[in-house]
Amino acid sequence: MQYDILLIGGNGFVGRALAAQLQLAGYSVLIPSSHPAMGRELRMLPKVHVEEADVHDFDELQSLCARVKPGGAVINLVGVLHDRPAQPYGKIFKAAHVDLPKNIMTAMQMHGLKRYLHMSALGADSNGPSMYQRSKGDGEAAVKASHLDWTIFRPSVIFGAQDQFINLFAKLTKLFPAMPLANHQAQFQPVGVEDVATAFIKSLTMPKTIHQSYDLVGPKIYTMREIVELAARKAKTTCAIIPVPAFVGYLQALAFEFLPGPTLMSRDNIASMQLPNVLPANGIDALGEVFKISRRSLEGI
């Protein structure tokens, strides 16, 4: 069977929202996943097919692209948040943010596919202060150098009912009566997951979005402290926030990196916070001005 859309990274937080919207819009969707059992709710969508595949294997990637209809599109949402320190970035970031997009685009060209939607990140910059930002910046450069009909999306922190950002702080405020918080003045402009998904879908039928990059942000800027306070209110708990110097946050992140289980915060995350994660002063509110989307607020989560 051939599909309208190959959705790479479709089994994640953003991917599940996007797959549901694609289904509603009438698209048939193929989602490759190394953990297909995690996408149980996706299996309830009749036009969405999840199957086991390793997108980092080029032969499998070619096989997947061969199953996209002529005139169909490939959407790449793959992103990772943590890696071991290296210059300019480690192997995990390189594999996910640079090598994979290059391989996807090569496989697309081999099968005559042109339309490619790419998930980057606000602040992506090949010369940025963090490994994450630099790897995302190099990924964008590779996309722009291709001969495909590409569109790049650069969201701020993405929130939603199942996000790993607000929910993390909500859990922490339940566990601890007080929270030492470094970089408490770091700024973010969180954007709703459904709004991000809608922008992706609208771009599929908007030729003017080809060869364009769009910053995706919510309607309001928050400091890190304000986000944690909001998370505490949502969790119906109280948590005293204790601002601490940046070097304390660095030491906390270093400790988190060596604890068992998933990394909650890394030194690279701290480096990313050196720059405000908000719409640039001369930036365009793409959700409102280009895609005509009424943006959801963080308070309405």
User: What are the tens digits of pLDDT across the range 215-241?
Assistant: 999 999 999 999 999 999 988 998 899
Name the CATH architecture for the domain at 3-158+191-219+280-296: 3-Layer(aba) Sandwich (3.40)
Contact 112, 157 (CB under 8 A): no
| pLDDT at residue 259 tops 80 | no
What pLDDT band is residue 172 in, cutting at 50, 70 and 90?
confident
Averaged over 173-189, what is the pLDDT?
90
State the CB neighbour count (10 A cutoff) for residue 207. Answer: 8
Backbone angles phi, psi at 49, to 5 degrees: -120, 120
- pLDDT recorded at residue 69: 98
Percent of the chain with pLDDT over 70: 100
Contacts of 208 (CB under 8 A, 6+ apart): none
What confidence score (pLDDT) does residue 213 get? 98
- Residue 165: band (very low, low, confident or very high) from pLDDT cuts 50, 70, 90: confident
Angstrom distance (rounded) from CA 74 to CA 112: 12
Is 199's pLDDT higher than 90?
yes
Residue for token pair 């943010």: 97
**Each residue's pLDDT tens digit, 244-254:** 888 888 888 88
CA angle, 209 then 9 then 129, to 5°: 75
pLDDT value, residue 279: 97
Inter-residue contact 224 to 185 (CB < 8 Å) = yes
| Confidence at residue 192, expressed as pLDDT on a 0 to 100 scale | 97
pLDDT tens for residues 81-137? Answer: 999 899 999 999 999 999 999 999 999 999 999 999 999 999 999 999 999 999 999
The two beta strands, 149-155 and 212-216, are parallel
The single-letter code of the amino acid at 142 is A
CB atoms within 10 A of CB 183: 22
Specify which residues 60 forms β-bridges with.
none
